[in-house]
């Protein structure tokens, strides 16, 4: 039992974090047709990722963040919010989201999140 419990609470590796972020951001990044769009998509996905892994991804918070990004473009806010709740978030299992929350619940890991750059290829557009 101890071995099973320690496996559930172990830290996620950088490779695992990057793999999960890539899956999470795929619905937003995949349709991009140039590197500028892809960079913007990754930046927005990082903001949404932060909300997800801290458990602060309420509708109110997500749409407020999107209002800051897209200003008063209601259609973009609704489209991106729907993409987050119905596509991006569903790319990950509940267990993966739970593990991410536990991982970033450790203050050391959370502090590294600010400097973290996901490994998503920008050049492949």
Predicted confidence pLDDT, tens digits, the chain (125 residues): 334 444 445 689 999 999 999 999 999 999 999 999 999 999 999 999 999 999 999 999 999 999 999 988 999 999 999 999 999 999 999 999 999 999 999 999 998 888 888 876 665 54
Q: How far apart (Å, rounded) are the C-alpha atoms in residues 59 and 63? A: 6
pLDDT value, residue 11: 80
Q: What is the SS3 string spanning 100-118?
A: HHHHHHCHHHHHHHCCCCC
Two structure tokens written together for 19: 């793999």
Sketch the domain layout of the chain as residue ranges. Answer: 20-113
pLDDT value, residue 9: 55
Residue 84 half-sphere exposure, CB side, CA atoms within 13 Å? Answer: 26
Angle between helices 59-70 and 35-54 (to 10 degrees): 150
Instruction: Report the 10 Å Cβ neighbour count for 73.
Output: 13
Q: Judge whether 28 and 51 are in contact, CB under 8 Å.
A: no
Two structure tokens written together for 75: 């259609």
pLDDT value, residue 2: 39
pTM value is: 0.85
Q: How far apart (Å, rounded) are the C-alpha atoms in residues 90 and 42? A: 17
Q: Find tokens 């978030």 and name the residue.
A: 89
Instruction: Report the 10 Å Cβ neighbour count for 118.
Output: 17
């Amino acid at each position: 039992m101890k071995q099973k419990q320690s496996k559930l609470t172990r830290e996620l590796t950088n490779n695992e974090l990057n793999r999960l972020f890539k899956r999470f951001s795929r619905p937003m990044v995949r349709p991009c047709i140039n590197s500028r769009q892809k960079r913007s998509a990754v930046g927005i996905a990082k903001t949404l990722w932060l909300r997800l892994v801290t458990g602060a991804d309420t509708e109110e918070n997500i749409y407020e963040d999107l209002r800051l990004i897209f200003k008063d473009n209601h259609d973009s806010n609704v489209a991106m919010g729907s993409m987050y709740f119905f596509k991006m978030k569903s790319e990950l299992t509940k267990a993966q989201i739970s593990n991410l929350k536990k991982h970033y619940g450790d203050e050391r890991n959370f502090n590294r999140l600010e400097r973290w750059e996901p490994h998503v290829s920008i050049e492949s557009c």
